[in-house]
């Protein structure tokens, strides 16, 4: 099961990373739209983070080697989802920094996701 979760993460992080890198303005507009929906928008963001975090934490409890990176990311996603659902006003404050003018920040995050996917891919297929 752990390998399946790793392959899922490679695919998701790779696609999302490329999308963030190639379409930063669209991602900024998406989060501005969510922010505009208020606490319900924070919940939508929670629905995007909590399931993947739950899958990773529930089925990939690995604490050694390269896979530990995915376990840590899973805990971060789980905590992010928890904040979105239990403290939506705080989540909205975090979303307040998003703007079209700062959409380049999505490219930085996207590059990090692509690197993460590559690292996990190396661990799965070469390690």
pLDDT tens-place string over residues 23-34: 999 999 999 999
pLDDT of residue 5: 97
What is the tens place of the pLDDT at every residue in 90-117?
Answer: 999 999 999 999 999 999 999 999 999 9
Q: Using an 8 Å Cβ cutoff, are 28 and 99 in contact?
A: yes
Q: What is the pLDDT of residues 56-80, one digit of tens each?
A: 999 999 999 999 999 999 999 999 9
Stated pTM of the model: 0.91
Per domain, the residue ranges of the chain are 2-125
pLDDT band at 1 (very low <50, low <70, confident <90, very high): confident
């Amino acid at each position: 099961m752990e390998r399946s979760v790793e392959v899922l993460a490679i695919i998701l992080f790779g696609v999302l990373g490329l999308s963030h890198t190639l379409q930063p303005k669209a991602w900024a507009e998406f989060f501005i739209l969510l922010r505009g929906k208020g606490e319900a928008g924070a919940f939508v963001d929670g629905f995007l983070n909590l399931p993947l975090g739950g899958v990773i934490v529930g089925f990939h409890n690995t604490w050694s080697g390269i896979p530990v990176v995915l376990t840590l990311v899973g805990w971060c996603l789980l905590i992010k989802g928890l904040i979105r659902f239990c403290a939506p006003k705080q989540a909205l404050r975090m979303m307040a920094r998003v703007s079209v003018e700062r959409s380049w920040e999505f490219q930085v995050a996207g590059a990090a996701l692509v690197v993460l996917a590559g690292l996990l891919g190396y661990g799965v297929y070469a390690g």
